[in-house]
């Protein structure tokens, strides 16, 4: 009987250990707050627009076009760009995290080079990434449409 009780105890301890070691998964559901390193994110962020200038400031572009409101400055360790953004997936989330319109960008250098290439200026681009509440966009895809 003691052997039987010991086996049940070991089996129960093993089951609890395995249950505690399993990891849950999170789907990238827009609007679902997922905690992660670098701040909370709101799921996949997609927006479309055009790169207006490379190396300029948001203030310069706003002064030249005072009647337009959809300009956003993206700052990266290698420089900055100003984009005119006209289509936003989940605009309510975007307006909460992207105002004021200055956002830090983290991405691979090659991806930023694609976005800021002279041949792609004023062309339609689609950007995909994670917009975090630290006013940071983790950009992982740029598609040039035009």
Average pLDDT over residues 117-125: 94
Task: List, for residues 48-107, the tens digit of each pLDDT value.
Answer: 999 999 999 999 999 999 998 889 999 998 889 999 998 888 766 666 666 778 889 999
Half-sphere exposure of residue 37, counting CA atoms within 13 Å on the CB side? 1
Domain residue limits, the chain: 41-144
**pLDDT tens figures, 28-43:** 333 444 444 445 556 7
Q: What is the pLDDT of residue 11?
A: 59
C-alpha pair distances (Å), 72 with each of 32, 37, 105, 108, 129: 24, 24, 12, 20, 15
Residue with the bigger pLDDT between 109 and 132: it is: 109
For residues 109-121, average pLDDT = 93
């Amino acid at each position: 009987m003691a052997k039987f009780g010991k086996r049940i105890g070991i089996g129960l301890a093993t089951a609890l250990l395995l249950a505690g070691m399993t990891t849950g998964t999170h789907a990238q559901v827009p609007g679902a707050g997922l905690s992660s390193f670098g701040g909370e994110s709101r799921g996949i962020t997609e927006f479309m627009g055009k790169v207006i200038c490379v190396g300029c400031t948001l203030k310069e572009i706003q002064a030249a076009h005072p009647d337009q409101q959809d300009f956003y400055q993206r700052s990266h360790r290698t420089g900055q760009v100003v984009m005119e953004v006209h289509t936003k997936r989940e605009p309510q989330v975007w307006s909460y995290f992207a105002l004021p319109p200055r956002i830090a960008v983290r991405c691979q250098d090659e991806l930023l080079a694609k976005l800021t290439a002279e041949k792609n200026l004023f062309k339609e681009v689609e950007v995909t990434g994670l917009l975090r509440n630290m006013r940071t966009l983790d950009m992982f895809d740029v598609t040039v449409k035009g």
